[in-house]
Structure 1
């Protein structure tokens, strides 16, 4: 069931989104060579707690997962596309890192993700991240009243396919509100002009994820969560929580 939010509820979600943005900012600032992913998880946890919110990911168990998620952030490095579990791994020069974070404040959820490089960047990684960001911007620009859900996926895939990247077609964006995952699903590839009409009050997490190797296939790690590119190529993932309004799309997870 798709739930449209009131303007007051969108404002409440904006506050949750601001907490997520601050957590991601803190994680990015501390992500240096030698820092462990577990340390980054602790930093995000501190920010969320200090703002009176709760982690949205910790102990969360969606239908596809074999076990509840054991951390506050998803930390995906190099060939890990999404859902990487932060552990003892210490960042190395040239790593490509994607951090996904969610927080719940006063019953409302925010969800966002960033990708960046650590130390000396590879030009191919910079291009991959920038293209994924442009795809997110295009998807957000398509999230307008009077459009269709397929317009968002078409905007994202046009940029990803045009750059020769692979797409994860089994995972994508989603509705969000009082729960992390609500209807509708937001595919990263779709036909324009198709799907449900976009209306004022619909709030979506839009999240392109591209794979540099150009293949759409991936594998799931033994932990049951981490998705790896099938060919070992690198991946990028970016995301914003976006409210569709009569005044245009509003990003709720920006600083």
Structure 2
């Protein structure tokens, strides 16, 4: 299967590193013009340069804006008024006990993980409908179904992504635009590597070994018994954005390594 996204413009939020960067790279490799987004200028510039170096002939540009705010979303829309593909990837996470999470943290997680996708989808979907072609992808998580006891505020936002993507798919039914959610499981991003580093050093393990130990201890239902790579997650997202995925919409697509212990 050859995925060709030539002449398509893709916006990937939170794409300076991790899963977002891998998605941007995969879309660029498929021929899309990719807009890299991050909160500040320097990481965006570095990501754009890295993509151009990694993908010969890539058409990539960047825009720095905090899309976890209404003002940031408006700034991005002013700079990039139309898109064929929108990947709502930006997200924050972190363990915290429920009884110690203040209202401000609930609001912050809601604004970044949910409202960024709501605002940008609301802005870009009408243009996609006019062209009778478009792709919107929400990067959710297996945590949206398997709510972690130590990250309830994170899990609830990822459940929200599932509800919004399903409802939006119905709202734009029959227009040629698809809306889907992708659910990664434990993935070896730069952020996760940093989280694992101290424990790995104490145990005399590599980061990969520490990641595997984490999966076996904390996500014992995993079938692959290791963390996924960012490219493994990105591959599914790129497919969902492709013309070949035209009959896939309103779906919650798992790339969780089998962590969710259900066949449906």
TM-based fold match above 0.5: no
Structure (1 or 2) with the greater strand fraction: 1
User: Greater helix share, 1 or 2?
Assistant: 2
Q: TM-score, normalised by structure 1?
A: 0.29
**Larger RCO (CA under 8 A, 6+ residues apart):** 1
Per the normalisation by structure 2, the TM-score is: 0.28
